Amino acid sequence: MINKIRKGVDVKMTLEPYLREEHEEMRKVIRAFVEKEIKPYVDEWEREGIFPRGLFKRMADAGLLGLHYPEEVGGQGGDYFMGIVMAEELGRVGCGGVPMAIGVQTDMATPPIYKFGTKEQIEKYLKPALKGEKIAAIGITEPNHGSDVQSIETRARRVEDGWIINGRKMFITNGTRADFVTLVARTSDEKGAKGISMFIVDTDLPGFSVSKRLNKVGMRSSDTAELILDNVKVPHENLLGAEGQGFYQIMWQLQGERLNGAAGAIGIAQYIYELALEYAQTRYAFGRPISNFQVISHLLAEMKTEIEACRELTYAVAYKFSRGDVLPKEISIAKLSAAQMAHWVADRALQIFGGHGYIEEYPIARLWRDTRLFRIGGGTDEIMKEIIAGQMGL
């Protein structure tokens, strides 16, 4: 897919510091896929609380699941900004649930396997995930622990021929149908970060079960579950990376997850803004479009300003991250800003729609609910502020 695009464009042409013509060509490909394969079915999937498993395979067949992974691991060989463009364009599907589930597959559960996994793990898990043949989930949060990863209670005990894992994981996207979970567990009595490791856990193992499917306020088209691990025996070869390094591995993973979340928030905010602009230009009051009223035109200008400011910030940070710089403060600023902005834009858009915005007949009500999760998932606003303050030496 990407090689075909490269052959058709001048890759040296720079549209802006971060995006080339090939990125914009890929944007068109993704947008066309969204319009044909996702958007027409969103209402149905929202009602059902899940979208078909086959969507992963259709996206893979279209070359969209592994955009920024190297070809040797089953990806398309694109750069990091291919993934950023993907996250933005998925924001246009008309809901937040589908993009979130796809983001888990491409930018949350699988990057640690690429970064820390063995050749065998890449063959068994990463490649099938990028082909849409296996669905992935990321298992961090627990009923009593979310942002405080160092305090997780899920325990992995070493035995002669593997590990026995016991614990519970909560709020797991793709949890009801995942084929494997990239999971964080405690492997020693040592307190804090040093006692944590990561595992790849197949969900068909004895003792692994879905306790319940969660009924959420928004993001309804993605399945979310509580998982139970009751003496689940995992082979030694499913330890991901080095024992005791799981906390540092998951902290690295969270940086990419937060950038992906920021890009997704920007994409959905852009889509919401366009809906609000179109409505304001076609909705008449007192004989003229409401966009002609200063209070509305200024509000639209503010919305556009906030979106573009967050986009430029996220692009700048993503550029550094793509070159190996892990910048927790800057990434946290981008995530915090974009998350708050997206829900702020959705709230203002709902106000522009007025009573129509508060009924399910219009998409703004759904998007208003969905954007609220950006301020919780991947690190709450409060945790982002803690990281920023800590990096500032406060």
In the chain the first and final C-alpha atoms are separated, in Å, by 47
**Which segments of the chain are extended strands (E)?**
136-139, 155-159, 162-173, 180-186, 196-202, 208-213, 224-234, 239-240, 284-285, 288-289
The CA distance from 139 to 208, in Å, is: 13
Residue 11 DSSP code: T
- According to DSSP, the residues that pair with 162 across neighbouring strands are 159
Query: Mind giving me the DSSP string for 298-350?
Result: HHHHHHHHHHHHHHHHHHHHHHHHHTT---HHHHHHHHHHHHHHHHHHHHHHH
- CA-closest candidate to residue 268, choices 257, 276, 278, 279: 276
- CA-closest candidate to residue 257, choices 141, 134, 83, 77: 83
- According to DSSP, the residues that pair with 15 across neighbouring strands are none
The CA distance from 146 to 380, in Å, is: 9
237 is catalytic: no
Catalytic residue among 46, 257, 306, 330: 257
- Residue 28: count other Cβ atoms within 10 Å of its Cβ: 11
Q: Which residues of 272-305 are buried (b: 16+ CB within 10 A; e: fewer)?
A: bbebbbebbeeeeeeeeebbeeeebeebbeebee
> What is the CB-side half-sphere exposure of residue 232 using CA atoms within 13 A?
27
Report angle CA 195, 200, 204 to the nearest 5 degrees: 130
| CB of 356 closer than 8 Å to CB of 232 | no
Place of tokens 């001048």: 10
Catalytic residues: 257
